[in-house]
Amino acid sequence: MRLLAEIVSWIFLPLFTPVYALLGVLYIPSTPKTFLLWDSLYHYPETLKVSFISLFLIFTTIAPGLSLIMLKVNRTISSLSLDNKEERGFPISIMIFYCVVLYGVMTYQEGYIPTILKAMAIGGAISSLLAFIITKAYKVSLHGMGMGALCGFIFSYFLEMEFFYAELLYLCILLSALTLSCRFYLNKHSLEQLFLGYGIGFGCQFLSIYFYPC
């Protein structure tokens, strides 16, 4: 059982959840409420879909992941899972940096970038900033934050669609419950830490997407 919980924790690392969210909305059919077909990410050309995934893969997964490995090699952190609260500040600040860079790249590069993706990057930066501040006094769950962000993004996208497979949202909620349960089982976090992280991730994504100017 412990091995399964460890596997689930690695599969749903916060570094992976933005890419999971993108894969869901890009490749599962949806129809927007507006008359603009491109308000649905599903209808974008394959080349653009690959570009979107590549951007998020580089700036939210690969670059932060390599940075964590370097911190581990330099012994700045003792574990890639960031179990020690006192070691979390610098790695989280790195995540803030990459989210801001991602937003800048999407804002200033040529070609159209959907506003919801820019808002997603802003939501990631804000939630990471909140985690950075809170971590000084309290160990918030980063897994909880990642799964909350996943659900918050899918839920916000779902609200903008005339047709969308609600099963995807239900699946995200189920996977969130599984991931948080595994973190609790492994004694990595208390329920309060898990729910706080989930609330931060969900709320920052939802509010960023809701208030981001179209």
pLDDT score for 147: 97
Confidence class for position 172, pLDDT limits 50, 70, 90: very high
pLDDT digits (tens, 9 = 90+) for 15-53: 999 999 999 999 999 988 887 777 899 999 999 999 999
pLDDT tens digits, one per residue of 152-168: 999 999 998 988 988 99
CB 182 within 8 A of CB 5: yes
Residue 118 pLDDT greater than 70, yes or no? yes
Give residue 138's pLDDT: 87
Q: Is the pLDDT of residue 110 over 70?
A: no
Query: Which one-letter amino acid corresponds to residue 156?
Result: S
- pLDDT of the residue at 82: 76
Nearest one of 41, 14, 8, 11 to 140, comparing CA atoms: 14
Query: How confident is the prediction for the chain on average, in pLDDT?
Result: 91
Here the contacts of 161-166 (C-beta below 8 Å, separation 24 or greater) are 161/30, 161/31, 161/32, 161/33, 161/40, 162/31, 162/32, 162/33, 163/29, 163/30, 163/31, 164/28, 164/30, 164/31, 165/28, 165/29, 165/30
Q: What is the pLDDT at residue 214?
A: 67
